[in-house]
A and B are shown apart, each in its own frame.
Chain A
Amino acid sequence: MQREEKQQEAILQAILNRVNDLKTAIQALITKLETEYETINWPTFLDNYAILSGHLTGLSKILQAEIAPQLRSLVVLPLQLGCKRDEQLAQMTEGRVPACTHDLVPDLLRTKPEPQAEQRLQQFNHKASTLNYDTAQKQVAQFTKVVSHVWEIISKERENWEGESMRASGIQPTHNMADTHALVTAVGTGKGLRLGMPAIVPGVGGPGMGPRVPTPQMGPSSQTMPKAPSTIKTNIKAANQIHPYQR
């Protein structure tokens, strides 16, 4: 029993530490916002949110961990509510909660979402479950389209902007998208390379390759076609005949 209590205390302490960390982080954020709002570097300020979310994740990890069920089985039972100022309580909460009053307790000891929020959630769930599959798919597709369109606009603007800022700072662009596409398509599909293909002049392609390309045989593909399968067939037959002798 004693061991359990000790364990519980340790967990509570850990949670308390995490909450305090979170609190200091929020405090720092607010102070910064209030005192340095004129000189603040906004990207660094946004990093503060990352710190906050880090603390929150840490906290929820402790609560989710295997040790937490012990806490879940404990009950907080409010015995008495009153409007009188409770010095001890005020001190514990750093002056934020001076008394255990009727309008504070429902919020502080809440374990479920607010009725209003719960109702809305139910409404949404209901709406989602009654939605037709096709309609949902259509809506998703539409949404994706809109998002990708917006993304396109933004990235285009960004490209322009980056290009401009590069020009402004005097750096010459070192690559060209159109050239990249031309090169990749040329190598991949032969775009721009096909002109005058049939005529391969021996010697230009190099003695290793050029003369071996039998230009006259190229001709229209229909002539070459029927010949091909027959060649393959004979080859296979020949191979089959050879095998039995080998083994």
Chain B
Amino acid sequence: MSAANAAPITATDSLTQALKANIIPNQEYLLQGSVLDSAVEVLLHRLRGLCDNVDAGPETFDDQEVCFSLRDPNQQAAPLMLRVRKALDARDMPFQLRYIGQPDLGDKNRPTVVRSSLDIACSGMLIEFLNELGCRIEFEYSVKGYMFRKGRMKITVAKVFKISQSAMPPEPISQSYLVELSVLAPTGQDAIAEDMRAFADQLRPLVQLDKIDYKRLGHMPS
């Protein structure tokens, strides 16, 4: 207590300082693709050859994600989207609250999508808190698959499931696995994007990792 009186550094102060020093990894560099169920074993095999964390076999994960939206009472601005993720296979892990900004595709010279991303670990009270705040659930899904690491890069190969109403087994969205290659980095570290592109090239033609603008796809009659 006395130490706090001597140097009244609040959490806000240290956060502002960290922001100024540009050490907060708040940018996500992202490439996305998919692989058919029939070829996923080949891809996993290749990733085991390329990645760092494969000594004890590939790391698995089984998460559930709920996407909340917080609408402006005046209905003017686009709703703010917040995502809550919970590990179903490791229940002692905290919930993850995540904000993802608008994806910026840039021109064709930019190797990856860049979007702002803020993650924070939360307790189980989170969902109640968000509800009290006026957030409402937009959609939810579960995602189950494998996670690989290569340096700062994270590669996930996962199946996306609809959450089913009854006791029926969850229904997969498609006959493919979603493949994502991402790096969280502070603003301006564009060099990592080149590394990602190089890594993505090594997975070709098995998977085609690309910049994908889901905002534009959403309007397409597919």
Tell me how many residues of B have a C-beta within 8 Å of chain A.
Answer: 57
B13 at the binding interface (Cβ < 8 Å)? no
- B64 neighbours in A (Cβ, 8 Å): 205-206, 209
Asked whether, in the complex, the Cβ of B212 is within 8 Å of the Cβ of A209, the reply is no
A93 at the binding interface (Cβ < 8 Å)? no
Beta-carbon nearest neighbor of A213 in chain B: B127
- A190 neighbours in B (Cβ, 8 Å): 67, 138-139, 141
Contact with A along B19-43 (1 / 0, CB 8 A): 0000000000000111110110011
Asked whether, in the complex, the Cβ of A196 is within 8 Å of the Cβ of B165, the reply is yes
Asked whether, in the complex, the Cβ of A174 is within 8 Å of the Cβ of B134, the reply is no
B17 at the binding interface (Cβ < 8 Å)? no
Asked whether, in the complex, the Cβ of B71 is within 8 Å of the Cβ of A192, the reply is no
Asked whether, in the complex, the Cβ of B140 is within 8 Å of the Cβ of A197, the reply is yes
Asked whether, in the complex, the Cβ of A227 is within 8 Å of the Cβ of B134, the reply is yes
* A-B contacts besides A174-B206, A179-B175, 20 pairs, CB < 8 Å: A172-B39, A175-B206, A175-B207, A176-B34, A180-B210, A182-B222, A183-B173, A184-B217, A190-B67, A190-B141, A193-B141, A194-B138, A201-B166, A204-B164, A204-B165, A212-B128, A213-B66, A224-B136, A225-B73, A228-B132
Cα A225 to Cα B79 in complex, Å, equals 12
- A207 neighbours in B (Cβ, 8 Å): 91
Asked whether, in the complex, the Cβ of A175 is within 8 Å of the Cβ of B33, the reply is yes
- A187 neighbours in B (Cβ, 8 Å): 141, 143, 160, 178, 214
Asked whether, in the complex, the Cβ of A175 is within 8 Å of the Cβ of B133, the reply is no
Beta-carbon nearest neighbor of B218 in chain A: A189
Asked whether, in the complex, the Cβ of B176 is within 8 Å of the Cβ of A180, the reply is yes
Contact residues, B46-71 vs A (CB, 8 A): 64, 66-67, 70-71
Given known A-B contacts A174-B207, A175-B35, A190-B67, A184 and B136 have beta carbons under 8 A apart:
no
CB A227 to nearest CB in B, in angstroms, measures 6
Chain A positions within 8 Å of B, measured between CB atoms, are 166, 172-201, 204-209, 212-214, 217-218, 221, 224-229, 231-232, 247
- A197 neighbours in B (Cβ, 8 Å): 137-140
Asked whether, in the complex, the Cβ of B39 is within 8 Å of the Cβ of A174, the reply is yes
Say which residue of B127, B132, B136, B212 sits within 8 Å of A181 (CB atoms): B212
Say which residue of B133, B136, B212 sits within 8 Å of A221 (CB atoms): B136
Say which residue of A176, A184, A232 sits within 8 Å of B36 (CB atoms): A176
Asked whether, in the complex, the Cβ of B38 is within 8 Å of the Cβ of A214, the reply is no
Contact with A along B197-222 (1 / 0, CB 8 A): 00000000111101010110110101
- B214 neighbours in A (Cβ, 8 Å): 184-185, 187-189
- A225 neighbours in B (Cβ, 8 Å): 71, 73, 134
Asked whether, in the complex, the Cβ of A218 is within 8 Å of the Cβ of B218, the reply is no
Asked whether, in the complex, the Cβ of B39 is within 8 Å of the Cβ of A179, the reply is no
Given known A-B contacts A208-B91, A214-B128, A225-B73, A183 and B165 have beta carbons under 8 A apart:
no
Given known A-B contacts A174-B36, A175-B34, A247-B8, A182 and B174 have beta carbons under 8 A apart:
yes
Cα A102 to Cα B88 in complex, Å, equals 90
B163 at the binding interface (Cβ < 8 Å)? yes
Cα A35 to Cα B20 in complex, Å, equals 66
Say which residue of B32, B134, B162 sits within 8 Å of A184 (CB atoms): B32
Given known A-B contacts A181-B222, A185-B217, A231 and B134 have beta carbons under 8 A apart:
yes
Asked whether, in the complex, the Cβ of A209 is within 8 Å of the Cβ of B66, the reply is yes
B131 at the binding interface (Cβ < 8 Å)? yes
Say which residue of B163, B207, B212, B215 sits within 8 Å of A205 (CB atoms): B163
CB A162 to nearest CB in B, in angstroms, measures 9
Given known A-B contacts A184-B178, A205-B140, A227-B134, A175 and B39 have beta carbons under 8 A apart:
yes
Beta-carbon nearest neighbor of A215 in chain B: B137
Asked whether, in the complex, the Cβ of A212 is within 8 Å of the Cβ of B176, the reply is no
- A200 neighbours in B (Cβ, 8 Å): 137, 140, 163
Asked whether, in the complex, the Cβ of A174 is within 8 Å of the Cβ of B35, the reply is yes
Cα A180 to Cα B206 in complex, Å, equals 13
Cα A93 to Cα B71 in complex, Å, equals 81
Asked whether, in the complex, the Cβ of B160 is within 8 Å of the Cβ of A191, the reply is no
CB A159 to nearest CB in B, in angstroms, measures 10
Asked whether, in the complex, the Cβ of B176 is within 8 Å of the Cβ of A176, the reply is yes
CB B30 to nearest CB in A, in angstroms, measures 10
